Amino acid sequence: MIERDRVSEDRPPPPDAGALNVFISYSRDDLDFADQLVAALESCGFDPTIDRHGVSAGEDWKKRLGSLIHDSDTVVFVLSPASAKSDICAWEVEEAARLSKRILPVICRPIDGVAVPPRLLDLNYIFFFAEPKSPGSGFGAGLAALATALKTDLDWVREHTRLLARATEWSASGRAENRLLSGADILEAKQWASRRPKHAPELTALQLDFIKASETSETARHDAARQQIEERERLLNDAEAAQQSQAEALARAEAEQKAKAEALGKVAAEQKEKERAQRRAKWLVGTVAAFAIGTFTAAIWQSRETEGREAAVMTSLAEKAIHEQFFDRALRIALQASPPPSLGALVARLGGDRDARARGQTRRSRNHRPPPFWAARP
């Protein structure tokens, strides 16, 4: 069971949730110093974490301690002859280095020539005892120096912890895409990485993969969204073009229908005009025919009346010639016009031969009309 250190009633209240989390790595031989250090850090506004459990046989202590180190912002390693020889403390240092945690070694008592873990050789030590080689050193001076070191690049270190936690969750989920950064978080993460202070911890490979995968996924989402927008625009343009084409086809059909209606109207008008012309022509022909018939009839009646008068005159003259025995003159008079029925009896009186001659003369007179009787000589 994991037990985080809890302050007693005579200690200051715990720091707020935004305080820097500090994991205390120590040996069980240095527990009293570790307790004093925790209390001092809490009074300075930090959030220290300390594991007070010993390692039991068969316990998965690496998982327990690794989780505490993973969640911390900085690891403070209490260096002493006991911790320098501890395999568990050495593992904690390596785990902190693997997670690119900032490691601050503090020396609680002289090392006495004990070999220091390799990861700590190049780091600056903070003395919490009166070290002759470091004038003014002691617990108070060491606490002040540690507090200053913890506050250095504080925001950048906190962001390191936060992004490491996000990257770890992403990796634990099988690198699920829904666990990646998105939008402005990607730009902020890239800017944060580019602002790494000189002495700040390096970014882990997992953090770098996490940021890169987030950027790649975001680009793919943007590309997909752009393609969707382009596809929607294409479909919209196609629909508008089809609608425009349909409207143009409809307009052409309406124009053709209108032209056809106008042509039919024109043909109908021409047909009506033709019918009117035919009716007028029929009326005119009928009128002319009636007029002609009337005129012809009148002419016939007038001709018959004139011929009747002429025949009466001719008959009178012919009878006079016969009475005076001028038979040739009577024959010529009879031939001047078509002989009426009354002339037949007169001709019959002329005898057989004369009657034949008179008939022959009458037939010839139909083709050649002789001059009027008054022009003939006796």
Helix (H) or strand (E) holding 348: helix 341-348
Kindly list the domain boundaries of the chain, sorted by start residue.
1-152, 324-378
Q: Does residue 18 sit in helix, strand or coil?
A: coil
d(CA 237, CA 242): 8
d(CA 101, CA 70): 8
Query: What's the confidence (pLDDT) of residue 317?
Result: 81
117, 84 in Cβ contact below 8 A?
Answer: yes
Helices (H), 44-102: 61-71, 81-85, 87-98
pTM for the structure as a whole? 0.57
pLDDT tens sequence for the chain (378 residues): 334 443 333 444 444 557 899 999 999 999 999 999 999 999 999 999 999 876 665 678 899 999 999 999 999 999 999 999 999 999 999 999 999 999 999 999 998 889 999 999 989 999 999 998 889 999 999 999 999 999 999 899 999 999 999 999 999 999 999 999 999 999 999 999 999 998 888 999 999 999 999 999 999 999 999 999 999 999 999 999 999 989 999 899 888 889 888 888 888 888 888 888 888 777 766 666 666 666 666 666 676 777 677 777 877 887 887 878 777 777 777 676 555 555 555 545 545 555 555 556 555 555 555 555 555 454
**What residues contact residue 29 under an 8 Å CB cut-off, 6+ apart?**
80, 82, 83
Query: What's the confidence (pLDDT) of residue 263?
Result: 86
On the CB side of 368, how many CA atoms lie within 13 Å of its CA? 4
DSSP 353-377: HHHHHHHHHHHHHHHSPPPPGGGS-
**What residues contact residue 92 under an 8 Å CB cut-off, 6+ apart?**
25, 65, 69, 75, 77
- The verdict on domain 1-152 having CATH code 3.40.50.10140 is yes
SS (H, E, C) 318-345: HHHHHHCCCHHHHHHHHHCCCCCHHHHH
7, 39 in Cβ contact below 8 A?
Answer: yes
How far, in Å, are 60, 68, 296 from residue 63 at the CA level? 6, 9, 142
Which of 346, 353, 297, 340 shows the shortest CA–CA distance to 323? 346
Output DSSP code: residue 204. P
**In the sheet where 102-107 sits, what is the strand order?**
47-50, 21-25, 74-79, 102-107, 126-127
